[in-house]
Structure formats: structure tokens, C-alpha cells
Structure 1
Amino acid sequence: MGRGVGRSQDLFGSVEPLLPSLREDGVAVWVLGAGPYPPGVVALQELLDAASEELEPEDVWEPEDMNDTCLYIFTSGTTGLPKAARVSHLKSIMCLGFYELVGASSRDVVYLALPLYHMAGSLLGIVGCLGIGATCVLKEKFSASQFWDDCRAEGVTVFQYIGELCRYLVNQPQRPGERQHGLRLAVGSGLRPDVWRSFQQRFGPVRIVETYGMSEGNVTLFNYTGTPGAVGRCSFIYKLFSPFEVVRYDVAAGAPERDEAGRCIRARTGETGLLIAPVTRRTPFLGYAGSRELSEQKLLRGVFAEGDEFFNTGDLVEQDEEQFVRFRDRIGDTFRWKGENVATTEVAEALLAHESLQEATVYGVTVPGHEGRAGMAALVLRPGRSLDGPGLYRHLEQLLPPYARPRFLRLQERLEMTETFKQQKVRLARDGCDPALVPEPLLVLDEAARAFVPLDAERWQRLRDGRIRI
């Protein structure tokens, strides 16, 4: 049975006409606040007022199985619609030890500006602080311009980040006193190597612990050594606690490569592959609320032996000779062009190394008359800068192979983000590269001119007719 909670009169007014159909679908509607309410809803305030303050006996609230569902947390929805991931009692309790694992203690003051309806903010942030008895400073909305003032005012020593928050900080104009703070530790996920180095060079020797994990996933990685760009480091001992494998992935087929016996093939050292983790009693995958198909899509079977089962993270990673694991891309983001796989993160890092660019997100678009997907980048310029088409061409020529260089550029005032500060690429990819459909200025890579040049209706038609090669 599904359940929905209405909190305001405006929200409830929009739900009220749907009550008959919701009842037919077995969806219970709970309402929080003063009434009156129509029949068929559950008034939570009345139940709360009537509830005893005495703790119920343990056999009432203690779960029969620690792997039973404790709560639901929605995924970010960066590549599709959000899904309600089941989180077990055991996983929730394990989050009590998160900050202790990364080197925080009860003496620390943790700065948290992440949404509390996602795992990073709620379980790792709030529950993690409870686990060590630390002070938590909650910021309703992250402000890069106020961040260091907040840190000094509140005595902040630990910052829980999402990678883009750190980028916002390094993109701020330099101000006096940026190194006059007590911040000693930053922990989170999604921090790109260029931002990592810039953050430490500008703001001082803050220890950074990059982590990897998913609300619904059964594998966790920690980069304890402070190596920029790595999400963790593998070892035989670590795999005893959090086992995983990296297998070859066929981007064109959208599935792992398999040998003649139908088994997956482990990726070689330095080779990008799909990160997967065995589903066992000790490392379960509880799936998602809703239809069984939602959960089945994340499972791989017969990976190395008949009857085995693995969770498909949907992430492409690479493991180097020193066993560092580096995130490369989401499988839905990586695309093929000119017969080659293009990792959007690699292209974005090359773009952001250019002095005029402040933000970039890279994705693939279909182009009439061409196979595969061409690279396209939505860009935000630094204040007071303009785009130098020939200069950017020369910059990318030095950093990227020909097939990886974006064919189209889209100049924007800002980039859309999810509530967890992840880039939204789905709408951008759907918009494509037709100047008649995209309101922002577009540019196209002109190999003959060795530059990015404006893409207007006339040049677009020549491209469609095959008179311009990309």
C-alpha cells in the first residue's frame, strides 16, 4: 500500500479531487495539521495528540529482521524519474558510525546544507552526528558567499559536501580571510580533481575524504589517503567487508560484455568498466517501492557462475595499478561517437580547465544523418568573460582526442541542478542542438576554421544536408 502526506491547505486542495481514485489504487492519504478534512483521510495530528509518551515494549518496535525496510529515500532522478529506494534498519544504524569512520569526533561542529529528504543529508549527516555526539549546524540553503562567515561564526570544523558545492566556493571572487577558519575536514562525494586541488590551494590544508555510495546500493568506498579524483582504494581486506567487481561494459549494447559461456569479463587494470556488487544476505539489495520491474532492472544474474546475483550500480569506474578506484561516468551519460566511447566527466574536466569557463555539463545528442551521439556541452562563462571560439578549440585540441571534443556548445546563464546539487542532463539532451528549438546561443565545431562558430539556421541546414562535416 502506498501512502501520501499532505501538509498545507494548497497542497491538500490539489489532492482532494483525486481521493476516490487514490482509494481505488490502495493509496492512503495522511494529513498533518488542523482540520476539518473530508472522509477517507487519516488525520495524523489527532493520532499524535492521542499517542502516549511512554515508550512501547521492545517487541512492538524492534524489527524482526534488521534487513527489513526501515524507511524510503527517493533517488535524485538525474537520469530519469526518482524512485523510492528501500533502506534497511541495519543500513540506517550503520550510518551512526559514518563520521567516526572518516575521522570526526564529538568535539567537531559539522556544517550541513544538504536536503534532509536524501540519504547524504539525513542518514549520513544527521544520524552520523548523533552517532558521535557532534554538533550539527543546519543551513536551510547553501550560500557560497556566506559560507566562510558561517564557519567562523559557528566554529565549524567539518563540512559535508556534494562536489558542486565546492565548485561554487572556488568560483567565488577571492576575499580577505579565506584561510582564517577552523575547518579541518571535508567529507562527501562527487568532487572533481580540478576542484579538489583548487579548494586546498585556496582555502588551506583541509583534509578531504571522498566517498562513494548509493541510497539503494550495497557497496561503499572511502578515499582515506586524500588522493585527488579517487573515490576509494581496493584491497583484499576491504573487499571482505564491501565486495565489488569491475566488469567490461558495452556502451553501444547498453549491457556488460559476456564471453562465449555467457559470463561477464573482469575489466583490466586501467580499463573503464561497470561497477557491480554481489547481492547476498550480508550485502542485500532491497530494491524500490512499486512494481517489481523497477528493482529487476538493477540486477545482473549469471555474472560469474550459475545462480549468482549482482547489483548494477550504473556507474563506470576505473581501477589503477595502485588499486585506486576512480569514477568515470554514469552509463546513461557515456555515449559513442565515431566508434569510440566518450566519458562526459573527462570532457567536462577539460572544458573547465579553460580560464573563461565557470561551469560545464556534457551530454550526447542525436544529429540527423549521423550515427551515434555527438558531444554537446552546456556552458556558463565566468563573469566578464566572453567565449573565444578559436582559443577554446586550441585548448581542447591539447587535452582531448578528436572524437571526444564536443561538437556543439550551448551558452547559458546557469545550469539546472537537482535538489542534491547534481547536474540535470535529461532535458538538455532532449532539447538537442537545433537552433530553432534551443533558445540560448549555440556554437558548432568547425574543423576547417579550427574554431567554434555560431550555429544559425543556415549553418544548421547545411549540416543536415551533409555539406558541413562534424
Structure 2
Amino acid sequence: DLWSIAPGKPSMEMFLISAILAALLLAPFALKTFCPYAWMDLLYFGDLVRILVRFVSRRRRRPLFFALDRFLEQSSAHPDRPFVVFEGESYTYAYADKRSNRIAHALRSHRGYEAGDTVALFMGNEPAFMFTWLALAKLGSPVALLNHNIRSKSLLHCFNCCKARVLIAAPELKEAVEDVLPSLMEQGVTILLMSKQCDTPGIEGFSDKVDQASDAPLPRSLRSQITFKSPAVYIYTSGTTGLPKAALVNQNRLLTALVVLSSNGVKTNDVIYLNLPLYHTAGFIIGFIGSIETGSTIILKRKFSASQFWDDCRKYNVTVIQYIGEVMRYLCSTPKKDNDKDHKVRLAIGNGVRAEIWREFTRRFGNIQIREFYASTEGNVGFVNYAGKTGAIGRVNFFHKMLFPYALVQYDTERDEPIRDANGLCLEAPRGETGLLVSKITDIAPFVGYAQNEEQTEKKRLRNVLKKGDLYFNTGDLMRIDEDNFIYFQDRVGDTFRWKGENVATTEVSDILTISDCLKEANVYGVQVPGHEGRIGMAAVTVNKDTPFDGSKLYDHVASYLPSYARPRFIRIQNAVEVTGTFKQMKMKLVEEGFDPGLIQDPLYILDDRERSYKPLTAEVHSAIVSGSMKL
């Protein structure tokens, strides 16, 4: 009997009890010392299990349950809750539901549309974008989310590669549509403008028909043919070559994406500030679709404004913000104010922020939890920095790798390919060294590919990686894993660079430059600029013998074909464009030389928006850029 042990006479039982109690008391300290992230790993594993259970339960529901059905649940449960606030106007979940019903009925009665047709949405950030997508989802139509900055050749390409039959455009994009109208009319495309009327033959005003349509619910039978493998949206991504590619996001992937915000701690009563483009994965899937899952309120902005950002957050009691690396840097570059920490923002979700910007952001704007993650539109692997390690894009662990097998393999940046051994298999990068991130293609982690582009789809497949016959997705991203299992983004491979939050395909820009009157060849690449995120566009070009270089004409040409972020900021005129023995353009040396007129003998020019021309790049201008007194 333990309770009858005489004082001063310790027993084996008492010793064991004391040892167990001591171990229990010391365990938290030991874990914190020797395994500081163990508790966070367990919590994250718990999140993964909850996400999986929720996903599986939704997959088993009949009739089939999609992202749209989650919106319908929210609008039924919280009809009067604000869904989106835009330019001072608040629209409830019930209003969004009814407005989307009107759009769907108006479209359904139009002779140029049949339920299930693919529709291209050509709009900026506005509630009509969201309402129209909901309407099309109710009709069972896949939606191509067109970048509202694209024009001419790129616009036609993006429209055609998803086989859309209908184009719905915002009124302010009427001229862009008119530029490609003859080609669209030849194809018999139905073109609807979200205005009450339109006097351009071939383009119909549509909003008046929406206003007159019924707001009654749409029959579920209209989307009865939809399966989990059916396309939900096409999101465009610039790859290493060619024009933008349409990444197919099917219904299953969209259903998975529903939990992104909630798994990061976002709640129903949160107010989310969405100022990233809705045609992008971040804006559409994380901001818009993620908010549908949580039933949160979205504060929608047409575009990012550093000067208005915190005033908006204070005005609307924003609690969650989205970011890309450039957003953080722009905010840190604004003049400091006494009320910088006067806000209710508690959480920032995004990717691409550098460690020094991360530290400056939290130092200046307060104790905001930064939830950095890694993912791509078409990719099959992602990471979350749930531990909050500054500068990391995520943390790797056994549980994650078990569900989503991946590897970092050694990469030859000169040959632009993975390094393989004598057996033809890839070599894994040692811990702490940079390698190419590849992720195994499985039923749980599929790679669907790009619409109407099997060539580019195949280029993203990597075979015989760790053993003969295996198949991996090539992310095109170079990563590094440290000794504490945190993973860091290092760089992109291939011909894509990122500027102003946009991926720019060098081949597309090169194609545009070489159809100008004065240029014969163009080698496009990205160069780093001090104080700026990403890489800015530069082109090494050769000039036609019988057509002299004209900076004004070239400016007009690139301005008519390319959005501002894709226009080469610097031009370097060469006698010949250097190529390899296999005729690949050589970029590495050009990238290293940058745009310094003190080091480069070739003529250099800089894009001048005020003069609407390419002007000579002088030593004084270069010095102003490097010092930061001149912003690009």
C-alpha cells in the first residue's frame, strides 16, 4: 500500500513515481531544447489530417459537392453577412447569390451560349468578376480567367487555347476587344460587354439583360454532367517558352483549394483585404475561393496601392492581408508614420518575401503573423512555413513527404537540365545545397497539364528521376533545405523571370520585339536591380541593316503588344546575338553583365515612359538607379 509507506523509508514504487513525474515536467523543456519544432510539427500534422478528412468526406457526398456548393451553403447560412465590399458598397452573400442567378439566367437565354460552354472572363478586380464566375459555375461552364493587361496576339492566343465560345468583358476593356474583334467574329464567338448597351457591331451590351433577368435559383441538373475531373477554371501562367499557357484547374483541385485559408487560421469573422489580381492563382483561389470556405468578408480593391493600403485596413477593420514579395517591399518603402502599427491586421498570407523585408515589415507594422507558403498554379506540391521561420517558404517533414513525395535534385544551370549519374538517374542535392525541386506525380498529387499544349505539358514531366520508370513534376524552381528542415526558394530556372509580381516569358517578349520594323534578333532576359524584387526585363538585340534603331517607334510597338511589366526596360544593341552549338541563345553572361554602361561597350537604352521612347542609358542614369533615387 503506497499510502502507508513510512516517512523516511523510500520505496521502489515511490522512486518510479518521482522519476515519471520528473520526466513529465522536464519533457517540454527537453523538446524545446533538442526538438524545438516538434510541437509545431505535430500541430501541422493534425491540420493535414483534418484537411484530408474534410476533403474525403466532401468527395463522398452525393450529389457531388464542389466549391460552388460551399458558397451556396454560406449564402444559405449567413445571407446577410457582407461577402464583398468594393469602393464603399457592400454586397451580402444573399445579394451575390441572387446577382449570379440573374447573370446565369440572362446568359442561359442568350442564343450564343449553351450550358457547359467554356467562357472567357476579361475583367479587372470588381464584384462583377466574382458574380459572373459564380453564375458560370451554376451553369456548369469552365471559365478562362484572362489577364486584363494582355492585348492583341497574346489576347487572341489566351482566348483560343481554352476553346472558349463566349467572351464576357468589362466596359473599360472594350477597345482591347475591338482590336481582336475581326478574328473573334470569324470564329463565331459571342462577345458580351458588361454595359447596358454597345454601339460596336459584333459586341453586345449585356448588363441590361442581367438587370431584367430572374434571380430564381438555377436547377442543379444544369451541372449534372460535371465530375471532379471536369475543368473548373483556366489560369494562365507564363512558362519558359512561348506565349502564356492555360493551366487547367479541375473541380477536384478547386475543392482542395477551399481549405487553404481555413488551414492557415482564418475564421468566419475575419475581414480579408484582397488587392491581388483575381485572374491570378493567389487572388482567385486563395483570396476569393478561400474566403468562400471560411465565410469571411472580402475587401476588394481594383489594384494594389501602397499609399492607401493601411488606411483601407483601418477603415474596414481588416484582420487578414494577402501579399506577394513586392507588396511587402512597397509597403516598407512608404514614408514612416506614427500610426503604422494602428490597425487590426493579425495575419499576412502569401509568398515571395525576402528575409530582410520580412524583418522590416514586422518591425515597422507590428506583431503580424506572416504565413509564407509555396505553390504554383499547375504544380502538385506545396509547402507552408507554419513555424514562422524568417525567410523560409516552408518546413519539410516526414508526414508531408509521405503524402507528397518530392526531392531536390542537382541541376546544371549552364546546360539547363538535371545532373544524372551513369545509370541515367538524377542525383539528389546534399542537405544545405541548392537543387531543383521535383515532385512525384501520383493520384493524390496529380499534374493535369496545360490546355491545348501537350508539348509544354510534357516538358514539365521529368522521367527516371530516382528510379527507372518513375514520373515527377518539374517545378522549375531551385530550392535549398537547411539543417533544421526549413526550405528556401533560391531562383527560377529556364527563361522565365518575375517582375512586379508577374511571371514574364522571355520567348514571348522576344517574339514581339522581332516583329518590329527595326529589330532582327532579340535575346530577352531578366537582370537584378538594387532595391527591387525579382528581375527586370532587358533585351540584347541586333538591328536591321536598312532600318535604323528608332527609340520612339520601338516604344510604341512594345506598348501596343505588351503589358507594362513585360516591356524590356533596357535595350542592348549588339552586332550579333550569341548562341550555343545547338542554337540556344546564351543568357548567363548577359545576365551577369547587367546594364552598367561603364562595363558594357555596346550601346544601351532605357525605356522612358514620360518621353514615350527608348533613350540612351547614361552613367548618370545608371548611378541614379543603383543609388535608389530613380525607381523602376
TM over 0.5: yes
Q: Structure 1, residues 270-315: CA drift from partner, whole Å, max 9, x if none? A: 1111111111222111111123112111111122233321111110
- What amino acid is aligned across from residue 438 of structure 2 in structure 1? I
Q: Structure 1, residues 141-198: CA drift from partner, whole Å, max 9, x if none? A: 2111121111111101111101100000111111111011111111101111110011
Counterpart position of 1:17? 182
Give the CA deviation at 1:14: 2.9
In 1, the alpha carbon distance for the partners of 2:339 and 2:395 equals 35
Counterpart position of 1:2? 163
- Local SS of the residue matching 1:300: strand
Classify 1:152/1:376 alpha carbon distance in 2 versus 1 (closer, same or farther; 3 Å). Answer: farther
Q: Do the aligned partners of 1:251 and 1:334 also contact (CA within 8 Å) in 2? A: no
Classify 1:327/1:136 alpha carbon distance in 2 versus 1 (closer, same or farther; 3 Å). Answer: same
Give the CA deviation at 1:107: 1.8
Match 1:361 to one of 525, 535, 540:
535
Alignment of 1:33-182 (within 5 A): 34=197, 53-57=216-220, 60-62=222-224, 65-76=227-238, 81-182=243-344
Q: Structure 1, residues 241-290: CA drift from partner, whole Å, max 9, x if none? A: 33321111111111111111111111110111111111122211111112
Moved runs in structure 1, 4+ residues, more than 6 A? 35-39, 41-52, 362-372
Structure having the larger proportion of residues in helix: 2
Q: Do the aligned partners of 2:240 and 2:495 also contact (CA within 8 Å) in 1? A: no
Q: Do the aligned partners of 1:276 and 1:312 also contact (CA within 8 Å) in 2? A: yes
Q: Structure 1, residues 219-259: CA drift from partner, whole Å, max 9, x if none? A: 11100111111111111101133332111111111111111
Structure having the larger proportion of residues in strand: 1
In 1, the alpha carbon distance for the partners of 2:429 and 2:205 equals 54
Which structure has the larger Rg over C-alpha atoms? 2
- Local SS of the residue matching 1:31: strand
Q: Do the aligned partners of 1:6 and 1:12 also contact (CA within 8 Å) in 2? A: no
Alignment of 1:264-413 (within 5 A): 264-332=426-494, 352=530, 357=531, 361=535, 373=587, 407-409=593-595
Q: Do the aligned partners of 2:235 and 2:246 also contact (CA within 8 Å) in 1? A: yes
- Local SS of the residue matching 2:183: helix
Q: Do the aligned partners of 1:68 and 1:89 also contact (CA within 8 Å) in 2? A: yes
Q: Do the aligned partners of 1:111 and 1:136 also contact (CA within 8 Å) in 2? A: yes
- What amino acid is aligned across from residue 434 of structure 1 in structure 2? D
Q: Do the aligned partners of 1:376 and 1:410 also contact (CA within 8 Å) in 2? A: no
Counterpart position of 2:414? 252
Q: Say which is worse superposed, 79-88 or 2-11, in terms of deviation.
A: 2-11
Q: Do the aligned partners of 2:404 and 2:440 also contact (CA within 8 Å) in 1? A: no
- Local SS of the residue matching 1:179: coil
Q: Do the aligned partners of 1:248 and 1:257 also contact (CA within 8 Å) in 2? A: yes
- What amino acid is aligned across from residue 123 of structure 1 in structure 2? I
In 1, the alpha carbon distance for the partners of 2:456 and 2:305 equals 36
Alignment of 1:415-430 (within 5 A): none
2:356 equivalent to 1:191 = no
Give the CA deviation at 1:38: 6.5
5+ residue gaps, structure 1, are 336-343, 378-405, 412-431, 445-451, 455-470
- Local SS of the residue matching 1:277: strand
In 2, the alpha carbon distance for the partners of 1:2 and 1:159 equals 35
In 2, the alpha carbon distance for the partners of 1:440 and 1:242 equals 51
- Local SS of the residue matching 1:2: coil
Please, what TM-score do these two structures have when normalized by structure 2?
Answer: 0.54
Classify 1:204/1:440 alpha carbon distance in 2 versus 1 (closer, same or farther; 3 Å). Answer: farther
In 1, the alpha carbon distance for the partners of 2:449 and 2:231 equals 10
Please, what is the CA RMSD of the aligned residues?
3.7
Q: Structure 1, residues 332-369: CA drift from partner, whole Å, max 9, x if none? A: 2699xxxxxxxx99x96xx75xxxx4667378987889
Classify 1:191/1:31 alpha carbon distance in 2 versus 1 (closer, same or farther; 3 Å). Answer: same
- What amino acid is aligned across from residue 13 of structure 1 in structure 2? E
Counterpart position of 2:364? 202
- What amino acid is aligned across from residue 425 of structure 2 in structure 1? R
In 1, the alpha carbon distance for the partners of 2:444 and 2:205 equals 39
In 2, the alpha carbon distance for the partners of 1:440 and 1:200 equals 40
In 1, the alpha carbon distance for the partners of 2:185 and 2:298 equals 43
In 2, the alpha carbon distance for the partners of 1:114 and 1:198 equals 22
Q: Do the aligned partners of 1:212 and 1:232 also contact (CA within 8 Å) in 2? A: yes
- Local SS of the residue matching 1:92: helix
Q: Do the aligned partners of 1:364 and 1:373 also contact (CA within 8 Å) in 2? A: no
Classify 1:304/1:21 alpha carbon distance in 2 versus 1 (closer, same or farther; 3 Å). Answer: farther
- What amino acid is aligned across from residue 15 of structure 1 in structure 2? V
In 2, the alpha carbon distance for the partners of 1:362 and 1:17 equals 34
Q: Structure 1, residues 363-391: CA drift from partner, whole Å, max 9, x if none? A: 898788999656678xxxxxxxxxxxxxx
Counterpart position of 1:31? 192
In 2, the alpha carbon distance for the partners of 1:42 and 1:114 equals 29
Q: Do the aligned partners of 2:325 and 2:533 also contact (CA within 8 Å) in 1? A: no
Give the CA deviation at 1:10: 3.4
- What amino acid is aligned across from residue 276 of structure 2 in structure 1? L
Give the CA deviation at 1:32: 4.1
5+ residue gaps, structure 2, are 1-161, 498-524, 541-573, 581-585, 607-614, 626-632
Q: Do the aligned partners of 2:237 and 2:246 also contact (CA within 8 Å) in 1? A: yes
Q: Do the aligned partners of 2:270 and 2:318 also contact (CA within 8 Å) in 1? A: yes
Please, what TM-score do these two structures have when normalized by structure 1?
Answer: 0.71
Classify 1:252/1:436 alpha carbon distance in 2 versus 1 (closer, same or farther; 3 Å). Answer: closer
- What amino acid is aligned across from residue 603 of structure 2 in structure 1? P
Q: Do the aligned partners of 2:229 and 2:251 also contact (CA within 8 Å) in 1? A: yes
- What amino acid is aligned across from residue 347 of structure 2 in structure 1? L
Classify 1:42/1:180 alpha carbon distance in 2 versus 1 (closer, same or farther; 3 Å). Answer: closer
In 1, the alpha carbon distance for the partners of 2:489 and 2:480 equals 7
Q: Do the aligned partners of 2:604 and 2:616 also contact (CA within 8 Å) in 1? A: no
Counterpart position of 1:441? 617
Classify 1:240/1:436 alpha carbon distance in 2 versus 1 (closer, same or farther; 3 Å). Answer: closer
In 2, the alpha carbon distance for the partners of 1:271 and 1:145 equals 40
